[in-house]
Structure 1
């Protein structure tokens, strides 16, 4: 699966020791970010992207329930368009909620019998989210090179320290 609007959106703001890194913090940068994700980058889309991100991050962390997403879910409709060969169902979304509707539609597609395929990185010191594409839906870290290796190193160090203390 390629990068998605949803994943990039929830990973677009990180609080670092050196300050906040926010890809949507500046209006011009946010507009460019949205254009790179297939949107027009209008001021309304920028505002919507910021608002839905503020709702999605705590929701995906399990800190709030799905009710926070209702403004976007409620803005999503299907409309029939008649053609000579039959009906075609098209999305009819309130333009003020189009970015959030896209993100929530992506989120919905990542839900399955084994649980959600999008979740926070399991590393305590990481703010990133990941989309688990593994068959078992058991991926823990957004990056094996950073968070996964640090977690494994901590476990190894703890085992070695416990072993030396016992000896």
Structure 2
């Protein structure tokens, strides 16, 4: 149901309690997409199910967390390169 709050139009969500979380999630997702277009995207780790809000200046962040996903993928790439490196 729409409500006018001063100069802004806001949506108030009404419904059965078991459906409220899903409706609020969709509205929150839309708000983040509207405020930060192109900045909300899935983590670059295919095994991760999280999304991240890219706050980097160049809009190039790839992982939800450098500590976990970023470090794991970089370590895997390094191990792959080391495995295939020709020995002298």
Q: TM-score, normalised by structure 1?
A: 0.41
Q: 1:127 to 1:102 in 2, by over 3 A?
A: closer
- Cα separation, 2, equivalents of 1:102 and 1:142: 18
Q: 1:142 to 1:149 in 2, by over 3 A?
A: same
Determine if contact 2:43/2:52 at 8 Å carries over to the other structure.
yes
In structure 1, which of residues 146, 153, 167 is the aligned counterpart of residue 75 of structure 2? 153
Determine if contact 2:3/2:9 at 8 Å carries over to the other structure.
yes
SS of the equivalent of 2:62 reads: coil
How many residues of Structure 1 are paired with residues of Structure 2 in the alignment?
A: 79
TM-superposition CA deviations, 1:21-74 (whole Å, max 9, x none): xxxxxxxxxxxxxxxxxxxxxxxxxxxxxxxxxxxxxxxxxxxxxxxxxxxxxx
Query: Are 2:9 and 1:91 equivalent residues in the alignment?
Result: yes
Determine if contact 1:78/1:89 at 8 Å carries over to the other structure.
no
Matched ranges for 1:47-86 at <5 A: 79=4
Which of structures 1 and 2 has the larger relative contact order (alpha carbons within 8 angstroms, sep 6+)?
1
Structure 1 stretches of 4+ moved >6 Å: none
Q: Which structure shows the bigger proportion of residues in strand conformation?
A: 1
**Uncovered stretches (5+) of structure 2, i.e. residues with no partner:** 15-19
CA RMSD, Structure 1 to Structure 2 (Å): 2.3
Q: TM-score, normalised by structure 2?
A: 0.73
C-alpha displacement of 1:78 = 6.9
Q: Which structure shows the bigger proportion of residues in helix conformation?
A: 1
Query: Are 2:42 and 1:126 equivalent residues in the alignment?
Result: no
